[in-house]
Amino acid sequence: MELKEKVEKALDKVRPHLKADGGNVELVDVTTDGIVKVKLTGACGGCPMSQMTLKSGIARVLKEEVPEVKDVVAA
């Protein structure tokens, strides 16, 4: 399975939590050196807690599920 596919599959695990709050996450890019670029959408896009959601929630899950992921950044 390709890295981008693995990341997308892992994102599917966090999406229900984001959707429950009216938001979502969109995969923008996965670089060859393991940097994942995502965009928070919906209610999550303008939320003041979005950075915490990105780092504590999304990044943590992605790093656990896909060891090749080095960092997750907002695109």
Tell me the per-residue pLDDT of 21-34, one tens digit each, with 9 for 90 and over.
999 999 999 999 99
Give the pLDDT band (50/70/90) at residue 47. confident
Q: Is the pLDDT of residue 35 over 90?
A: yes
Q: Is the pTM of this model over 0.95?
A: no
- The values of phi and psi at residue 28, to 5°, are -95, -50
Q: Where are the domains of the chain?
A: 3-74
Is the domain spanning 3-74 CATH 3.30.300.130? The answer is yes
Contact 34, 59 (CB under 8 A): no
